[in-house]
Structure formats: structure tokens, C-alpha cells
């Protein structure tokens, strides 16, 4: 049993009555049933797929992968995010109900990776598009590291206060609302030979 399984137990009387706060009860129920939306584009996502198998037993953490953002409260981003994909990622994030969490998995997701040096179309960090709760470095991160990141997120959820969630919802808005990138003149000049 994890140390965060029952964070809401303040004291127990002899009659098996548990007293706690409503905030702790809410946090406990949320961390026991995280439903992730998987947003993967490259090798990090293949490494993540091994978590679903019996060796790592992804289900023991209450994580049930969802295919709809309206049913998910956690988005796991893995792989390179391009400028063309950025509006769809922001749209998926905005469709998720509150409270929502993000884990950025892999070097390409966190910094743009090896594609960010010469590429004009790579987003240099998914945190420029959506707020990230847990960064998971690696190329690709091992399944054990993904489990560790989920455990860290669960600890963060268990310590949350309702007022902080509301403040975070108001501050961490996405950078776009209409999901359109406007085409303008190219800043790169070239001469045709």
C-alpha cells in the first residue's frame, strides 16, 4: 500500500469513526481514479505502451486510459509537438474537465529535443502551450520512471487545497482560444538559383 493511499485519516475513534476534511476526501477520491488521455507521437509513447501490460500493471494505480478528453483528467504528452499539432493539443487540454493535470514525458516534449535545434516547426517545450505539472526527462524514459512520475503527481494531488485549485484554473489558461495560427510572410529568405 502506498503512503498516499489514505491521506485523509486524521484520527480514528474506538467505534471506527473517521474524521477528516472534505478537501482531503476530495483529494483522496481524485488520486485514486486518475483517467489519463494519451497523446503520443514518437518513441516515448511506445515505451509508455509497455505500462499497460502485466509486467508493470498500470491499472493498480487506478489509471484507466480514456480516448475522449471529456472523460480524462490527466494528459500524458509524449514525443515531439510540432506547430501544426499545437492547436489540437491545446484544444484537447481545454476540453478536459477541471481539475486537470499534465505530465510531459521525454526530452522532445519538454524541450523539443534534438529536433529543436534546426527546425522551425517544433514547439520548444509543451509548457509553452499548456501548464505542466510533472516533467519526466529521458529519451525515452523507462516505464519505472513513468510510474514514479505518476506517484509524484498523486502526492501533489493529495496535498492540494481547493482554493489553490481555483486560483490555478484562473492563472493557467492556455495561450490560444481560437486555435488558429495565422499565416504571415516568411522570415526566412532564400534565393532561387
Measured distance CA(189)–CA(193) in Å, rounded: 13
Sign (positive/negative) of CA torsion 157, 162, 167, 169?
positive
86 and 5: one domain?
no
Say which residue, 100 or 177, is predicted with more confidence: 100
Chain segment 126-140, per-residue pLDDT in tens = 988 999 999 998 888
Q: Tell me: the pLDDT tens digits for 79-116?
A: 888 888 889 999 999 998 888 899 999 888 888 888 77
In a domain, residue 83? The reply is yes
- Structurally, the chain folds into a number of domains equal to 2
pLDDT score, position 50: 77
Asked if residue 52 and residue 24 are part of one domain, the reply reads: no
Q: Count other C-beta atoms under 10 Å from residue 133's C-beta.
A: 18
SS3 content of the chain, % helix, strand, coil (to 5): 40, 15, 50
In angstroms, the first-to-last Cα distance of the chain is 68
pLDDT of residue 169: 52
Task: For residue 165, name the pLDDT band (cuts at 50, 70, 90).
Answer: low
Of the candidates 64, 77, 87, 62, the one whose C-alpha atom is nearest the C-alpha of residue 108 is: 77
Annotated binding residue at 174? no
Check residues 6 and 97 and name the one with the higher pLDDT.
Answer: 97
26 alpha-carbon distance from chain centroid: 20
pTM: 0.70
Q: Indicate whether 2 and 75 sit together in one domain.
A: no
Specify whether 27 is located in the same domain as 95. no
Tell whether 72 is covered by a domain: yes
The position carrying cell 509497455 is 50
Domain that holds residue 89: 36-150
Residues 27 and 110 in one domain: no
Q: Residue 171's pLDDT is what? A: 57
Same domain, 51 and 138: yes
Tens digits of per-residue pLDDT, 43-85? Answer: 777 777 777 776 777 777 777 778 888 888 889 898 888 888 8
Q: Which residue has the higher pLDDT, 157 or 173?
A: 157
> What's the mean per-residue pLDDT of the chain?
74
User: What CATH number has the domain bearing residue 62?
Assistant: 3.40.50.12280
Do residues 69 and 134 share a domain? Answer: yes
Q: What angle separates helix 22-31 from helix 143-158, to the nearest 10 degrees?
A: 160
Which residues are CB-neighbours of 154 under 8 A, at least 6 positions away?
Answer: 2, 4, 31, 34, 61
- Per the domain annotation, does 164 fall within a domain? no
Handedness of CA 16, 20, 26, 28 (dihedral sign): negative
Q: Bigger pLDDT: 178 or 14?
A: 14
| Structure-model confidence comparison of residues 101 and 40, the more confident one | 101
Does residue 46 or residue 182 have the better pLDDT? 46
3-class DSSP assignment, residue 73: coil
Of the given ranges (62-76, 136-150, 171-185), which has the lowest mean pLDDT?
Answer: 171-185
Residues comprising the chain, all counted: 193
**Percent of the chain at pLDDT exceeding 90:** 7
Taking the CB of residue 40, how many other CB atoms lie within 10 A of it?
18
pLDDT of 144 above 70 = yes
Residue 74 shares a structural domain with residue 48 = yes
Residue at 192 is within a domain: no
Q: Fill in the DSSP letter of residue 66.
A: B
Amino acid at each position: 500500500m502506498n503512503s498516499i493511499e489514505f491521506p485523509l485519516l486524521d484520527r480514528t475513534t474506538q467505534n471506527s469513526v473517521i474524521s477528516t476534511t472534505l478537501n482531503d476526501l476530495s483529494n483522496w477520491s481524485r488520486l485514486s481514479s486518475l483517467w489519463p488521455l494519451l497523446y503520443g507521437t514518437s518513441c516515448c509513447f511506445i515505451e509508455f505502451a509497455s505500462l499497460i501490460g502485466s509486467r508493470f500493471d498500470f491499472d493498480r494505480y487506478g489509471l484507466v486510459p480514456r480516448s475522449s478528453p471529456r472523460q480524462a483528467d490527466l494528459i500524458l504528452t509524449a514525443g515531439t509537438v510540432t506547430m501544426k499539432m499545437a492547436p489540437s493539443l491545446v484544444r484537447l487540454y481545454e476540453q478536459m474537465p477541471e481539475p486537470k493535470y499534465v505530465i510531459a514525458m521525454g526530452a522532445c516534449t519538454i524541450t523539443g529535443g534534438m529536433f529543436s535545434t534546426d527546425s522551425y516547426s517544433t514547439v520548444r517545450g509543451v509548457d509553452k502551450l499548456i501548464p505542466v505539472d510533472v516533467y519526466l526527462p529521458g529519451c525515452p524514459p523507462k516505464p519505472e520512471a513513468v510510474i514514479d512520475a505518476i506517484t509524484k503527481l498523486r502526492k501533489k494531488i493529495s496535498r492540494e487545497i481547493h482554493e489553490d485549485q481555483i486560483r490555478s484554473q484562473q492563472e493557467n489558461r492556455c495561450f490560444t482560444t481560437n486555435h488558429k495560427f495565422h499565416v504571415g510572410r516568411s522570415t526566412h529568405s532564400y534565393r532561387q538559383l
